[in-house]
Structure 1
């Protein structure tokens, strides 16, 4: 075994007198905050131009060709698509730069002017990044919408921004066409052509239809070459990013070139050794600030990006033909971003496989897991365990991942520990919001602590303010606690066309712009932040105890029985309850142990079975105690929901965050029954 140095290091400290309410800064940039990854780069266009100059002939974007496509009808009438995919084919930085230029010139030729909005509504792919890099270069502010947004939210975003030019993909085109009657400002629809047949019929007379390649050809014509490009400034809006809207219609967050450059300058500092020998796998939505900033950062340092999707990521993914390679196995990436939802699924899949094995195999794996866990936190490497026990698990993601960045929601300590052990890589949990360009805090790669999200980044400072109603103050002992405020150049300009909401959430203080997050955090003695609550998720029970609903969910969703979960608490009652979308395979197995033989095709009947419901509740209460929930935090009733929660149902956002109010309304009768 190899001993690594493990020491207590102050990562951030407070400004001024150092009380719990003072702003904290990283000790590595205590005297100044960074504003750009490189001194001579002012805007996002400068960043990509420099990358092309440095890495021109090297690989930039990679995609896989579809070798074979099959449709598999299911018993419920649905049709699943399965793909056999080939090798990755690469486009160099020089080639991407040429496409960026011709596409931007083509948009100018179509009539789009600098500082006029361009909307991207598409799945994550290389054309998405080519489009936004063209927008950065030609100063077209980009409006982004999640590909999984519902119709009402799509129409809201398009109409609020009054966009005339829309870029979409063939998969979303038919649905977008059906909404054009409700979006009167749209004049040009550009689709990312990928060889699929596109139906251009039944378009309104005032809407022009173009393929992305035809726009590039238009821009390549000599008479459309405009050498005088109006370059953006740091103050120009680069992106209006619509959030997924967990509490109402999506809000457009306005981010300037300067805001994003500040955020990128600091995020890059926490990824050591970023260089062209790395490979990044891109599969999260580019309409989410985490994926967008990760990919821009990779571009800046010459890291090739291989594109994937959640349905083709691994060999076992739903769209991968049995016996063929998923994208991670083919690409063998070294870097990836992930949200807790993805890592929780990996955690449950591996442990389910272990528990299904023989008693001997389960005992050996558990012994190796506990052995590595003990040594990891004492500073020792375990190369033999890594090679002979955990390599097969590493191979799920290609076998070469050296760093994962987790964001979007709190990562449970159990899942965090599991990823460190089984995937043999650093997992850095970060805290940031769309309103702070994804920046805030990120763990150092050497920080193995669990349940924390690191120290402030180099571009911003973080402070806590009292939330008396919730019982959190900056004078709390042993750790100061309160609402998290992020201040710095990465704090966005505000909400698009929502001045009152902007004035409420964005404030100016001591010459700095701050965003009031609504999240509750506490400082640890080394200057690292831990998220402990959220103002909107906190409910005071009848006996006076406060229950943090997101905390309850984070613990209970690690049960193999749970695919999704929403905790609910009535302030007039003594305990919380839970709505559960159960895992079908695990629920059927549990039913069999009870002697219940309801077939899985009668799913609703199985979910409504009271004996099954009681057994699930018992399992969740065991999980709650294991996760150190207080007795008053553990649900006393549960409802098994037969309906999947997807953005189409209106119960979750496009980013699959819970819409609590809608869930409460939808299941009102079930909640009343649980409290009866």
Structure 2
């Protein structure tokens, strides 16, 4: 049997032997295969040369209009039923339009020269801050800055005022690129970010812009007026104006290529555990990262025929590196928005998936869980015969693949799963999960109904490099093969019972993609490399499996010691409980003075409505859709039934003893980056979630103790 990752040295006390991918055991790679580049600037130019200037590389849709519908909904406020207005937004978009490698190369060169023309200089002192949503304009700004050795700073478009201000002030950014609708979020931070001189907005300001009844134009103009009141010296430009300035001065302004060791970007973490940290990434870090993942995924698997739908935040290292890889493979990145992926929120047009027809889709665990539950919800609405046919076909496909029975999987796809595949555009070949672990049953379901799911594991600090699970050595429930650019070892975590002698421990990573430091944060930098110089401590607990794969089993900072002295891994619990059909999302909380955890649950509305209706709790409802969930969040019978179902999911997923939740609290606030309950990378903001439900959680614990006490003789 071929081991995915093989030892490349001797084990030391308290450590496993360091390992590398079996294909790269002699040396880790430092750049993409077949490329000689050492900087992002050189990499893109080399990609243009390899794939040709006429090949399309980016696609996008223009926003034609936003249609608003207002509906009455009932909410429980201070225990009273209140009817309130809720606005629903529907988006009308154009068809996809495309730009070629050659056109993009010309555009970013003009753009870079335009940056110098407005006043920036090719220096690490002139940082360009990207505070915008994922779009071709984000990527063009990033690449343009690289042509002039101007470092980029990235921040999530949903980052709160405090974190955004911190990133502006700490880096001393002189220029901000943002979307027109985000200009309003700059007003307060700019009171403290005094070094900002220029703001570039993504769209022109056009008085004839009638979208959303002209509010897009009016709101942007109003925000600029407010900024000018507090910072009259700041100059504003549209992206097109800066590009035009560069084009007009093309002959008189040179490019200033960076050196490999120069700063490419400072990427701020999402701040799920405190103030966001700025990860310092050099050009050679980024180039090595492209080579690392590219070494695991050859161009025979992904190449020029592929269309990758891009909707995750580009401020997340996972998305940034993957879009760089699309350039490497010569594919097309089709930009999309999470709100318009499907037809549901579109008007007079198809959703992005159907319109673009991607062959590859990258998502996070929360996306794939929602997709799975959506499919199952639709199946359960069908007649019992149809349901039986679906699950029989599903199990038959799994069995035929296990026993290598040809033709059966493709036949089942054509006859049974065709409609599911059509909803994603009908051409998906591969999907990729990253950002957080995914339940193995969800991985199996997506793989067998839509497309084979690859798994990626990495961190901002390692430039998204650690593992990629590829079809070559495919397993469920593992992170997979180490990428070609890193070396990994596991070290003891004695307080939690993880020891290297058992092939378990904290994951430590070395290699060229690993950052050198956190920006102006020597204390956190020291902690990150405290165990051994050159080895980044991830905080993740890993395990080498019998096949040599790396499996992530815990998160050190989310290990909670309970009253009886045992540790609970919250993320492990959540990844399993989240697969329950009634759960849209869940945050597990374990009080250190209690024995068991509880679950704060955001309910899957469609399924919970069905349950409320089936239980007969809503006497007025004639059908499940008539049920208002908000009325039943505190209903004991509903909570009891949901807890019972969620516990069954936990037991099926292998949870036992103190890992089984005591009970649940139901919440109805949306967990979105906008609400602040999750980051843009969909990581839980635990403190905020707990604070919003603390009273209910305390009551749940108190009621349980009261019941336990009353049962004692």
TM-score, shorter chain, exceeding 0.5: yes
The alpha-carbon distance between structure 1 residues 71 and 126, as it changes in their structure 2 partners (threshold 3 A), is same
The alpha-carbon distance between structure 1 residues 446 and 426, as it changes in their structure 2 partners (threshold 3 A), is farther
Match of 1:105 among 100, 108, 113: 113
Say yes or no: does 1:409 pair with 2:409.
no
Say yes or no: does 1:295 pair with 2:320.
no
Match of 1:543 among 564, 568, 575: 564
Asked if 1 retains the 8 angstrom alpha-carbon contact of 2:353 and 2:425, the reply is: yes
Asked if 1 retains the 8 angstrom alpha-carbon contact of 2:563 and 2:592, the reply is: yes
Deviations 1:68-124 (A, max 9, x none): 542111324232221233321111111111110111111101111122210011111
**Which shifted more, 269-278 or 116-125?**
269-278
| 1:340 equivalent in structure 2 | 365
Say yes or no: does 1:515 pair with 2:508.
no
- Displacement, 1:404? 1.8
| 2:595 equivalent in structure 1 | 574
| 2:706 equivalent in structure 1 | none
Once residues 222 and 121 of structure 1 are traced to their aligned partners in structure 2, the CA distance between those partners, rounded to angstroms, is: 27
- Displacement, 1:606? 1.8
Say yes or no: does 1:23 pair with 2:18.
yes
Say yes or no: does 1:277 pair with 2:308.
no
Q: How does 1:159-238 map to 2 (within 5 A)?
A: 159-193=169-203, 196=209, 197=217, 198-199=220-221, 200-202=224-226, 203=228, 204-222=231-249, 225-227=252-254, 229-238=255-264
| 1:3 equivalent in structure 2 | none
Asked if 2 retains the 8 angstrom alpha-carbon contact of 1:60 and 1:91, the reply is: yes
Asked if 2 retains the 8 angstrom alpha-carbon contact of 1:267 and 1:457, the reply is: yes
The alpha-carbon distance between structure 1 residues 65 and 662, as it changes in their structure 2 partners (threshold 3 A), is closer
Once residues 65 and 676 of structure 2 are traced to their aligned partners in structure 1, the CA distance between those partners, rounded to angstroms, is: 34
* Runs of at least 5 residues in structure 1 that lack an aligned partner in the other structure: 1-7
* Runs of at least 5 residues in structure 2 that lack an aligned partner in the other structure: 73-83, 210-216, 703-713
- Displacement, 1:602? 5.7
Q: How does 1:641-652 map to 2 (within 5 A)?
A: 641-652=667-678
Please give the secondary structure, in 2, of the residue aligned with 1:667.
Answer: helix
Say yes or no: does 1:32 pair with 2:56.
no
| 2:471 equivalent in structure 1 | 445
Once residues 296 and 174 of structure 2 are traced to their aligned partners in structure 1, the CA distance between those partners, rounded to angstroms, is: 39
| 1:62 equivalent in structure 2 | 59
The alpha-carbon distance between structure 1 residues 354 and 230, as it changes in their structure 2 partners (threshold 3 A), is same
The alpha-carbon distance between structure 1 residues 602 and 421, as it changes in their structure 2 partners (threshold 3 A), is closer
Q: How does the TM-score come out when normalised to structure 2?
A: 0.89
Match of 2:640 among 607, 611, 614: 614
**Which shifted more, 559-568 or 242-251?**
559-568
Say yes or no: does 1:504 pair with 2:512.
no
| 2:79 equivalent in structure 1 | none
Q: How does the TM-score come out when normalised to structure 1?
A: 0.94
Say yes or no: does 1:71 pair with 2:94.
no
Once residues 215 and 601 of structure 1 are traced to their aligned partners in structure 2, the CA distance between those partners, rounded to angstroms, is: 53
Deviations 1:197-251 (A, max 9, x none): 3414232311111101111111122377312x33111111101000101110111
Please give the secondary structure, in 2, of the residue aligned with 1:567.
Answer: strand
- Displacement, 1:329? 0.9
Asked if 1 retains the 8 angstrom alpha-carbon contact of 2:309 and 2:335, the reply is: yes
| 1:533 equivalent in structure 2 | 554
CA RMSD of aligned residues (A): 1.9
Once residues 629 and 414 of structure 2 are traced to their aligned partners in structure 1, the CA distance between those partners, rounded to angstroms, is: 41
Once residues 485 and 55 of structure 2 are traced to their aligned partners in structure 1, the CA distance between those partners, rounded to angstroms, is: 30
Deviations 1:266-322 (A, max 9, x none): 111222323222111111110001110111111123211111011111233xx322x
Once residues 701 and 531 of structure 2 are traced to their aligned partners in structure 1, the CA distance between those partners, rounded to angstroms, is: 45
- Displacement, 1:453? 0.7
The alpha-carbon distance between structure 1 residues 377 and 507, as it changes in their structure 2 partners (threshold 3 A), is farther
Say yes or no: does 1:397 pair with 2:421.
no
- Displacement, 1:189? 0.7
| 1:5 equivalent in structure 2 | none
Once residues 537 and 362 of structure 2 are traced to their aligned partners in structure 1, the CA distance between those partners, rounded to angstroms, is: 25
**Which shifted more, 363-372 or 91-100?**
91-100
Once residues 361 and 585 of structure 2 are traced to their aligned partners in structure 1, the CA distance between those partners, rounded to angstroms, is: 24
Deviations 1:437-476 (A, max 9, x none): 0000111222331110112111011100000000000112
**How many pairs does the alignment contain?**
659
Asked if 2 retains the 8 angstrom alpha-carbon contact of 1:106 and 1:224, the reply is: no
Once residues 378 and 171 of structure 1 are traced to their aligned partners in structure 2, the CA distance between those partners, rounded to angstroms, is: 54
